[in-house]
Structure 1
Amino acid sequence: MIYILALIAIFVYSGYAAPQNLFFGASKCGYSSCNAVKHGMINVHLVPHTHDDVGWLKTVDQYYYGDKNDIQIAGVQYILDSVIPELINDPNKRFIYVEIAFFARWWREQSDSMRHAVKGLVNEGRLEFILGGWCMNDEAATHYNAIIDQHTIGFEFLRQNFKECGRPRVAWQIDPFGHSRELASLFAQMGFDGLFFGRLDYQDKDNRLNKKTMEMIWKGSPKNLGSRSELFTGALYSGYGPPSGFCWDTICGDSPIMLSSSFMFQAKHYQTKHLIWTMGSDFQYSNAHTWYKNLDKLIKYANAMQSNGSKVNLLYSTPSCYLDQLNKAGLKWTTKEDDFFPYASRGHGFWTGYFTSRATLKYYVRRTNNFLQVTKQMDALALLEDTDNSTYNIVILREAMGVAQHHDAVSGTEKQAVAYDYAERLANGVNECQKVVNDAYGKLMPLKTVKPPGHSFCTLLNISSCAFTEQNKMFQLHIYNPIARSVIYYVRLPVVGSEYNVVGPDGKPIQNQIVPIASDTMRIPERKGSLAKHELVFNTTLQPLGFTTYFIQMTSAKKTKTLETTKVKQLTGTEDTVLSNKYISLTFDGSSGLLSKMENLEKKISIKLNQQLGYYIGHDGNNSKDEFVASGAYIFRPSSNNVHMFDKPQLKLKNYIKQGEIVQELTQSFSSWATESFILYENAKWAEIQWTVGPIPINDKKGKEVISQYTTDLQTDSLFYTDANGREILQRKRDYRSTWTLNQSEPIAGNYYPVNSRTYMQDTDKDIRFSVLTDRSQGGSSIKDGQLEIMVHRRLLHDDALGVGEPLNETGSDGKGLVVRGSHFIFLDTIKESAAVQRPFAEELFMAPQLSFTNAQMKYSDWSKQYRTMWSGVKKTLPPNIHLLTLEQFAGTGPVPSQDQPFLLRLEHMFEVDEDVDLSKPVNVTLQDLFTTFEITSATELTLGANLPLNQLERLKWMSEDSKTTPINESRIKYEPLKLGDDLTVTLNPMQIRTFQIQIKSRQ
C-alpha cells in the first residue's frame, strides 16, 4: 500500500493527475473524516499547524517568499510545498491551514495536477481549512463591517475552489491579544460550531484551570440574538505552540521525541478524556518531514505503552475533530456573557496600549473601509460589467483591506516598515477603486449619451488639504451617500479665496461660510505644498444611497447675501465664552479658557464638564522582570498613576474663537504640539472636538501617551460603557472582572478597554448619559467616577519585548515625530433617548459620504441639461433603524439562472433590545421594488459569511449548566428556510444581520 501511494505521488509531481477513484475516492470531509479515537482512554489530538502572520516583522510579500530571513526565518510558500507531499504519502496524517491571503497566493501558482491533489486532500478531510478568513483578524481595533468582509472573501475563495469541503467549521483565533464578545456572535452567525483561542488573562487562565472551565459556551449576544449567537469556545492549554520539549521544527531547539507526563498533567484541568495539542507555531513546517517523522514516533511509542496499561492514546487530528468529540461527550458546560478584555500576560503586562498604537493607520483603515463600501455599492447600482475591469479593481482593495484587519496590522503592533507596506497596499487599492467610482458615475450621471468629465479625489481633507479645490476657481462637488436614507452633512473644503458662490443641485444658492484654517492645522507636515488658508463650509442634505452635485465658484466680491463670513475673536478677558445652537450649548470658563459646562437645550439638562488634553509618561523598564515591563506597541504601562496636565495660563493666552451662522469654533492651544478645536454646527445635536497632537516631544528621553480627559459631576458608581467592534454595548466596572476575583496590579492600564466607535457614562438618578463617539479605534477608561479618558496618540522609546523588536516611535514625514489629527463627538442626552441620536450618527461616521470633484467650466444651467444633479439608488428610504450593510456584485453560493445576476445584500437592525422605545422594535423591509436600477427577482438567505444557504446550515448543539431543558435525540441546530412574502418582505429583529443572495434584473 505504501508503495502504491508513493508511486501515485510520483505521478502527481510528474504532471499526471492521480485517478480519482484510485487515490481519493468519494468526498469524506467534515466530522466523518476524523481518525478514530479509543474510548476509555485519554485521547490526545495532535494538530499539526502553522501560524502565518499576514505581516508583522516582515511584510506580506517577504513572509510569503522567505525574504529578509535575517529578521525572521519564514517562507510560507515553502511550508505548503513541504506539507502537501507528506499528506499525500500518508492518509493518516492531518494538517490545518488558516490564512487564506497566503493560501490563495500559493494556490494561484500551482499546476492543475497539484491543485487536483490538494482538492483530494481537502475532500478527505486531511487538509482542513480552519477559520477561513483572509487573515486572523484583530479583535479590539477592528470594525464589524470589515471583519465580515474579510471573512467573506476568504470563504468565497474556499467555496469556489473546494465547495462544501472547503467550508470551515471551527474558528481559530489563537494569537489575538484579547477576545471580543461581538466576534463570537459574528462567528456563530457565520455558522461555526466552535472557537478556539490561545491567549487569555493569566489570572483568568489560572482560575479556569483550577475549576476545569477552560472550555465553555460563550453567549455572544445574550440580550439580543440569544441562542443563535452562542458559540462553544475553548482556551488552549499551551497557547498555540506545542508543549515544552515537543517542538520539532528546524527553527526549534528541542531534542527528538521523549515521552513525559504532560498528558496526565493537562488532563487534570479539562472535563473530558480528550486533549488538544497544537503541534506547530509561527511559520513552522517549512520542513514538514522533520515534524511528521517525530510525530509518527511520538504516536508509535506512546500508543505502544497501552500494552503495559497506559490509558493515553495519541492520534493525528484537527480542531474540528477534537470539537466533535467534546460534543459527543454529552456534558453540560459553563457559560460566559462578557468578553476577554483586557488581556494581561503578567502582573504589569496589560496589552492595552495597542488599542491606540499607530493612530493614523487605524484612521486610514477605517476610512478605506468606508471607500470600499462606496465602491461596491456604486459598482452594483451602475451594473458595471467585467469589461469595465471593476471586479479586478475592487478585488485589489478588498484583499488589501482583508490584510489590514490582521492582528498585527490595524492593531499597530508591526514594525514601522511593515506599517508603511500596509498603508501602501491600501493606497493602491483606493487608486484602483477610484477608477470604478469614475466608471459608475459615467453610467449613472448622464441624461444623454454624453460622458461626464473624470472625477478627482482628495484624500487629505481631514488635514484641510486638497490640490483640486485649491487650484480650481470653478468646479463641481459630487457627494455620494452610502446610507439608504437622507443624511445631513457639513462640507468643509480647503480653498485659497475668501469669497465663494455655492449652487445646489436644484440651482438655488447655498449659504456658505469661509473659516480661517487654524495654526494647529497649518503646522501638520503632510500639508506641505498646500496653498489653502481657509475652508469653505456649507450644509447639505444628501440623497439616500445616491449622489448630489454642488457647483462652486470663487468670486472677487460678495454676490449674495446668503454668504456668511467668519469673525475671529481673540479671548483675552475673564468673561465666559459660549458656543450654542438650538440644541447644544458649551460654556468655557473665562479665567482658564477650559470647557466648564455642557447643556442639552432641547431636553433641558446640563452637566459640569471639564475637558483637557494630558499625558502619561511611559514606563521605561528593561523587561527583565515583571516589575520592569516597559510601555510599548502592545503594553500600556504608565510610570505613575498621575496624568500630566498642561499649564492653564499657557492655555488662556492662546484661545481664539471663530463665529458664524453655519459653524462656530473655539481653538485651544495646550502647547506647541497639543491643540484642540471645539466645533458646533448650526443644527447639530452634538459637538465635535478636533484634536491635533504631535510631534510628541522626546527630548527629555521619556515616551508619552496622550489622552483626552472628560470630567463631569455625574455619579457613575464605577461603571462605564464601551462598544464591541462598533455594535453592541458592554458594561465595564472599574477594577472588576465578572469571571474571577481580580488582583489589580495596574490601576490605569488594567482598566482600559477597546473603544471602537463610542464610550459613555451615565447617572441613573438624573437620567443623564454623556457619550463620546470616535472616528477610529482607541483605548479608553473611567479611572474615576464621573470621568472618561480616551488615549489619542502614543510615542515610546522602549520596546516591550513581545516580539516586534523596536519602540513605537513614529517619526512622520519630516522625521521629527508624527502629528495625528482626529475628532471626538460629544453627546449629552437622557438615557432612554440617547440611542436614537447616537446609533444613526455612528452609522454616518463609519459610512461617511464620499466626495469627488470635476472641473468642467459649466454653470448649473448647462450641466443640468446633460447630467443628473441628484440621484438615488433606492425608490424608498430604509427605516431609521435599518442599515444597508452590504450591496455588491457577488458570485453566489448556488445555481443562478443565466438571465439573472447574483448580488449580495446584507441588512442589519442597528438597535439593541430595549435601547429605544420605538427603534428597538422588529422591522419589516420589503425588498421588491427597492432599488432604482434593478429589481430583485428572488432572494436566498445565506449565513453571515455568505458561504452557505441558511436552510442548509446545521450547527452542533451544546448543553449548558444554565439550560432549562435537556435536548433529547437532537445533536444539531437546524435553521429554517426564509419565508418570503410575494413582495419579498423580511423581518429584522434587534441587532440581527440578514444576508441574502439576490437575483436581479436590470431596469436599464
Structure 2
Amino acid sequence: MYSLLVLLSTTLVLTHSQNCGYNSCPQWDPNALNVHLVPHSHDDLGWLKTVDKYYFQDVQNVIGSVIGALKQNPDRKFIQVETAFFKKWWDHQNDLVKRDVIKLVNNGQLEISNGGWSMNDEATVNYQSTIDQYTLGLRYLEDTLGPCARPKSAWAIDTFGHSREQASIVAQLGFDSTFFMRLDYRDREKRLKEKTADLLWQGSQNLNNSNIFTSVFYRGTYSYPDGFCFDIVCNDEPIIDDANSPDYNYEEKVDDFADFVRGQADKYPTNNIFVAMGDDVRYQAAWTNFLNIDRLIKGFELFPRNYTNKPIKLLYSSPACYTKAVNDYVTANNYKLEVKTDDFLPYATDGYGYWSGFYVSRPATKRFERIGNNFLQIAKQIAAVSNQPYENKITPLKEAMGVIQHHDAITGTEKQDVLKDYHRMLYSAIEEANELVDPLLSTIISGTDDHFQFKTCLMSNISSCSPSRSNKFTVAVYNPLSRVVSSPIEIPVSAKAWSIVDPDGNEVANQVESTIIDFSYVNNVPTSPYTCYFIAKDLPPLGYKIFTFTKVESRRSELTFGNSNTSFEIDEDSGLIKSITMNGVTMDVSQDLYYYKSGSYSGAYIFVPLVNEKFRVAEGKVKTTPISGSVYQGVVQEFAPWAKQIVKVYHGDDSHIEIEWIVGPIDLVSENVGKEVVSVFTTSLKTEGNFYTDSNGREMLKRTRNYRPTFDYTNEEPIAGNYHPITSRIVLKDEEKALELAVLNDRAQGGTSLKDGQVEIMIQRNCPHNDFGRVGDSINDQEYGQGVITRGRHYIVLGPTSGNGVKSLAAIQRDVAQRKLLPPWAFVTNQEVSQRLKNTQFSSLKVPLSENVQILTLEPWNNSTILLRLEHILERNEDENLSQEVTVDLSDLFTTFTITKLVEMTLGGNIPLEESVRLKWPGLENVQSKKLDGFKVTLAPMQIRTFVATVVY
C-alpha cells in the first residue's frame, strides 16, 4: 500500500482538512470583473526528454521551488498535476519538508488538479487504462497527503482533442469541472463569439451523473499572457515598481494586463474569467514568478482599472475555485450554460492542420499498451484471489501503464529515444509482475510452494517464446473475463506436429502453420519457424485450464473448409475478398490495402495527404495461398513483399472473421514522400454519409462526413478532416435494410468513411518529416537494422441489426470487443509438471456472470480488502434483453474468499460515495445509483460501480 505519512503529518491532515477545497477559495466580488490567476507548470512525463531526464533536470526544481515560495505568502496558490512526478519528488524529501507540503495542501495553497498518474491522452486510450491510471494517482495522493488532496477539477491542457468518455470518467471520479485549450479552431471562434466557452458537457448518453462543467481556454495556449512570463527561462520584462528607477513600468504593466483581460471578459458568460499563469516546466524559480504576480495583483489595487464600469479584481485562484465562482454566479442568476453532447475530436489548428495522425503513429506502442493492460488485469486478479497484499511487484506495472497513458506516450508523439525508454519501462514492469504471478499461479495449480517458472511470451509477435522451443511444454491459459469463453490460442513452436491434451485428458485439435513471414532477421533472439493454433474451449471465468504439448513425428491434417454459418469468398481475378456470409446474411464486401502519399505537413501529430488520392499497395492481382486445418481455414494474401494478410475463420466461432495483417518495412515513395497505409472495406450499404466510432472503447458516437454538430465545418482537407479515433470499432449502418458492418481492432487507430458503404482504417505510417519541428523527429522508426515491421488484427462482424436471433449485432460486437481487449493469456513453461498437477483447471467465480456484466477491476487494496468494480457493458437500446438493468449477487460469488462488507466509492476508489457531493447546475440534476440490497448490486446500461470490499479468505 502507498502509505508514506509520518505520524505528525497524519495529525496535520486530520486537524486542518476543513480549510481546503472550496473553503480555501478567495472571495470573489459580484460587482467586479474577477480575474482568477492560476499558477501552474506543465510537466510532460516524457516527450523531448525521458521521464527521468525531465524530472532530474527540471521538475524537481519546479516542485521544490514552489513549496518554498508558497510558504512566504498565504495568498499564493499553485496547482500540482502529474502524480508520477510528485511521488518521485516526495520520495527524496525529509519529514520536515513533507510536513510543510501537507500543511500547504490542507490550507488550499497547494491544490491538486487532475491527480492522475499522468495527464492521459483522450483519443487513443482505452477507458480501463484511463480509470486505472487515475486510481493509481488518486490513491497515492489520498494515502500520502490525506483528503485535502482530492482533486475537484480535471486539467487536460495539453491533450490533442477531448473525448466524451473522458468527460464521463472525470465526472464519475467526483470532479466538478474540466479545463482544456485544444479544440477545433472554428469551434473556439464560435464559442468565444457566442460566450459558450464555459459550458456543461454531458459525458454519457446513458448515465445521469456524467455532466461536468467545462472551461475552454481563451487562447490556443496554456502559457502566461504575452509579456507576463516571469520565470528564469523567460525574457519578459519584470514588473519594476520602484518609481525612482529609470526602468519603472508598474502602471504600464497594469494597463497591458487590463487590456488583455478586457478582451477575454468580452468572450465569457459571467463576471469571472480564468488566466493560466504558467507553461512547460515553469516555476523553476518560483520566487520571482510569485513576486511579480504579487505586484500585479497589488497594482490593480493601487491603480484601479475598470471593465464596463466594474473594477477589475485579480485573485490567486485555481481551476476548482474558478468553477465554484462560476457556479455561484449561474446559481444566483439562474443562468443556464450551454450543454454539449458530442466530443471535441478531431482537433484542428487550421483548415489543413488536423491532428489525426497521432491516432495511428507508432502502432507497435499502441498494441504494447493493450498487452500491458491485459497482463495487469490478470496479475491483479490472481493476486486478489491468492490473498496477496498490495504487492510491490505489481506496482511498477501499474506505474508504467500510468506513464504510457501520457499524451506524448501512447500517442507516438515523442522522440525516438523516449519511445524506447517507454518500451523498456513497460517490458521490465511486465517481467517483474510475472515474478509475482508465476509462484501464485504455480501454487494454485500444484497445491504446494512449487514454482513452475511460467513465462509470458511477450515476443510471440515475432515468433519467439523460449519455453515452447522444447519438445514438451505446458501452457496455462488464463481467462480474465467474468464469463466462460472459448478462444483461439497461438504458440510459436519449432516443429510441425504436436499432440495437445486438455485437463480432462482429451486430445485437442491443433493446426501448425509457417509463420506469416520469416522472423530470422531479428538479431540475438531465437525465433521459431512455425505457429501452433488450438482452441482453448470453455475457459472458466477469472480462471485457467492446463494444456500439455508434446512433439510428435507427424500428424495428418484434417482438411476442413469452413464454417457453415461464417465464411468469405475470394475473387479469383483479383485475389481480394469478394463477399462475406455471417449471421444469416451474405454481403458483397471487398477489402484492399492502399496508401496515401504524405508530404511535409504529415508527421507524428498531423495527417495531411500530399494529394487527395489513395494508391494501391498491390500492383496487380494479390497472390493468395489457401490454408485449411482443424482450427481455422483461410487464405494468405500477399499484396507486396512488405504487406501480407491472413484472413481466417475459426471453426466453432461464428462471431467474426479475423484479418491478421503485417506491414513493413515501408519503402518511401521517394526521398521526401512517405506512405500512410490504410485497409479499405467496400460494401453496397447505403449509409447516407454516416458512420459510428467508439469513445475510448465504450459508448458509440455518430459521425457524419463533412459535418460537425456544433459548428460550421469547412472542407479544405476532405480526408484528414474526416478521420476520427477508433479505439474499439467503427460501424456502418444501412437503416433501410437494417444491416450493419463493423470492423474492430486490437489497438487504437484512426479511420473514416469517405464514401457511402466504405470504411478505411489507417494501420501504419512512415513519414519522413516532423510536423514542422513540433517533436523534431520523423515517424520513420528503425528496428533490427531496418524499418519497423508492424503486425496486427482486424475483426469483421456483419449481419442484420437484429443479430443472430439470440442477441443483436451490437451485443455481438460488444462481446467480440471484450474478448479482444482482454483475451486469454498463455503462461508457458518447459518444466516437468505432469506429476505435480493438482488443479488442472480453476475459476475464481462459483458461477459465471451474465454476458452483459464484467468485473472490470479485482485487485488487492488494504489489509483484508479488495477493490472491486462491476460494469454493465451495453448501452441502452443496444439489445432487447441485454440492455436492461442487471443485478449481481456478491454474497457467495467468489471461490477463495467471502465478502463481508461493501463500501461504495467514487470511480477512482479514493472517496466513499456518500462523501462525494458535486456542485449542482441550473437545469441539470445528478441522479445517484440505486442503493445496495445487502450484497446485491444493480447496474444500469453502461454503469460502472466501484467498491472497497472487506473479505475473509
Determine which of 921, 932, 937 is the counterpart of 1:958.
921
Match of 2:731 in 1: 760
Equivalent residue for 1:826?
Answer: 796
151-160 or 435-444: bigger deviation: 435-444
Aligned to 1:947: 910
Query: What corresponds to 2:223 in structure 1?
Result: 241
Which residue does 1:454 correspond to in 2? 453
Counterparts of 1:509-520 in structure 2, within 5 Å, are 509-518=507-516, 520=517
Could you list the per-position Cα deviations for residues 886-939 of structure 1 after superposition, in whole angstroms to 9, with x for gaps in the alignment? 000113xxxxxxxx7011000000000000011101001000111110000010
> Could you say if the C-alpha distance between residues 16 and 166 of structure 1 is closer, same or farther in structure 2, counting changes exceeding 3 Å?
closer
2:50 maps to 59
> Match of 1:614?
594
Aligned to 2:895: 932
Partner amino acid, structure 2, of 1:987: T
- Residues 282-291 or 35-44, more deviating: 35-44
Structure 2 residue 679 is the aligned partner of structure 1 residue 712: no
Equivalent residue, structure 1, for 2:247: none
- Aligned-CA RMSD value: 2.2
Selected match of 2:662 from 654, 672, 692: 692
Q: Distance in 2 between matches of 1:411 and 1:646?
A: 26
Letter in 1 for 2:755: K
Q: 1:42: which partner in 2? A: 33
Q: CA shift at 1:536, angstroms?
A: 4.2
CA distance in 2, matches of 1:40, 1:147: 41
Q: Deviations over 1:787-826 (max 9, x none)?
A: 0000000011111036211211111222x21000000001
Q: Give the CA deviation at 1:852.
A: 1.0
- Distance in 2 (CA, whole Å) between partners of 1:870 and 1:358 is 38
- Pairwise mapping of residues 351-390 of structure 1 onto structure 2 (< 5 A)? 351-385=355-389
Cα distance in 1 for partners of 2:721, 2:427 equals 36
**2:872 aligned with 1:872, yes or no?**
no
**Counterpart position of 1:805:** 776
**How many positions carry a matched residue from both structures?**
918
Q: Find the aligned partners of 1:116 and 1:888 in 2 and give their Cα distance.
A: 31
SS in 2 for 1:406: coil
Q: CA offsets, 1:350-400, max 9 Å, x none?
A: 000000000000000111011000000000011124xxxx71111111001
The TM-score normalised by the length of structure 2 is 0.94
Q: Trace 1:340-739 onto structure 2 (pairs within 5 A).
A: 340-385=344-389, 391-447=391-447, 449=448, 451-470=450-469, 472-518=470-516, 520=517, 522=519, 525=522, 529-558=526-555, 564=557, 580-600=562-582, 602-603=583-584, 605-620=585-600, 630-651=601-622, 654-685=623-654, 686-698=656-668, 700-701=670-671, 702-739=673-710
Preserved CA contact (<8 Å) 1:690 1:821? yes
> Any conservation in 2 of the 1:583–1:683 contact (CA below 8 Å)?
no
Q: 1:474 to 1:332 in 2, by over 3 A?
A: same
Q: After TM superposition, give the deviation of residue 466 of structure 1 in Å.
A: 1.7
**2:512 counterpart SS class:** strand
Which residue of 1 is the match for residue 883 of structure 2?
Answer: 920
Using the TM superposition, give the Cα deviation of residue 20 of structure 1 relative to its aligned residue in structure 2, in angstroms.
9.0
Is the alpha carbon distance of 1:681 and 1:524 closer, same or farther for their aligned partners in structure 2, counting shifts above 3 Å? farther
What amino acid is the match of 2:528?
L
Q: 1:374 to 1:959 in 2, by over 3 A?
A: same
Residue 933 of structure 2 corresponds to 981
Deviations, residues 743-790 of structure 1 (Å, cap 9, x unaligned) = 121100000000001111011111111010000000000011110000
Distance 2:632 2:941 in 1: 36
Once the two structures are TM-superposed, the CA of residue 580 in structure 1 deviates from its matched residue by 3.6
Letter in 2 for 1:230: N
Instruction: Name the amino acid aligned to 2:277.
Output: M
Matched residue type, 2:599: H
What is the letter of the counterpart of residue 548 of structure 1?
A: K
Mean Cα deviation higher: 681-690 or 726-735: 681-690
C-alpha contact 1:376 1:888 (8 A) present in aligned 2: yes
In 2, the alpha carbon distance for the partners of 1:716 and 1:642 equals: 22
Equivalent position amino acid for 1:503 in 2 = V
* Cα distance in 2, alignment partners of residues 18 and 444 from structure 1: 41
8 Å Cα contact 1:693/1:793 also seen in 2: yes
Deviations 1:209-260 (A, max 9, x none): 11000011101113x102x011111101133111122111222222224132
- Cα displacement (A) at 1:616: 0.3
Check the 8 A contact 2:33/2:310 in 1, yes or no: no
- Partners of 1:130 and 1:168 within 8 A in 2: yes
The answer as to 2:941 corresponding to 1:990 is yes
In the alignment, residue 767 of structure 2 is paired with which amino acid? L
CA–CA separation in structure 1 for the residues paired with 2:696 and 2:768: 30
Query: Equivalents in 1 of 2:134, 2:168: separation in Å?
Result: 14
Question: How far 1:830 moved relative to its partner?
Answer: 1.5
Q: Is contact 1:504-1:551 (8 Å) kept?
A: yes
Distance in 1 (CA, whole Å) between partners of 2:531 and 2:72 is 70
Residue type matched to 2:876 in 1? V
- Would the aligned equivalents of 1:886 and 1:907 in 2 still touch at CA under 8 Å? yes
User: Aligned-pair distance for 1:541?
Assistant: 2.4
Task: Single out whichever of 631-640 and 584-593 deviates more from structure 2.
Answer: 584-593
Q: Is the partner of 2:303 in helix, strand or coil? A: helix
Which stretches in structure 2 are left out of the alignment for 5+ residues?
A: 1-5, 240-252, 803-807
Q: Which residue of 2 aligns with 1:849?
A: 824
Change (3 A) 1:19 1:370: closer
SS at match of 2:166: helix
- 1:534 Cα deviation (Å)? 4.4
Whether contact under 8 Å (2:493, 2:531) holds in the other structure is: yes
SS of residue paired to 1:368: helix
- Residues 491 and 540 of structure 1 are in contact (CA less than 8 Å); yes or no, is this contact kept in structure 2? no
Distance, in Å, in 1 between the alignment partners of 2:16 and 2:613 is 68
- Deviation, structure 1 residue 31: 0.8
Give, as a single letter, the amino acid of the residue that structure 1 aligns with 2:105.
V
Aligned equivalents of 2:798 and 2:477: distance in 1?
A: 29
Aligned residue for 2:474, secondary structure, equals: strand
Following TM superposition, by how much is the alpha carbon of 1:284 offset from its aligned partner in structure 2, in angstroms?
0.2
Post-superposition offset of 1:524: 6.5
Query: Which TM-score applies when normalising by structure 1?
Result: 0.89
Q: Is the 8 A contact 1:511 1:564 kept in 2?
A: no
Q: CA deviation at 1:403?
A: 0.5
In structure 2, how many angstroms separate the alpha carbons of the residues matched to 1:712 and 1:527?
45
Provide the secondary structure at the position in 2 that maps to 1:944.
Answer: coil
> Are 2:439 and 2:451, in contact at CA under 8 Å, matched by a contact in 1?
no
Q: 1:27 to 1:804 in 2, by over 3 A?
A: same
Taking a change above 3 Å as real, the CA distance of residues 149 and 286 of structure 1, as seen in their structure-2 partners, is same
**CA contact 2:519–2:527 (8 Å) conserved in 1:** no
Write the mapping of 1:74-223 to structure 2, written as runs, cut at 5 A: 75-222=58-205
Aligned to 2:284: 286
Aligned 8 A contact 1:43 1:275 in 2: yes
Q: Verify: 1:256 aligned to 2:238, yes or no.
A: yes
Provide the residue aligned with 1:626 in structure 2.
Answer: none
Give the partner amino acid of 2:429.
Answer: G
Aligned amino acid, residue 114 of structure 1: V
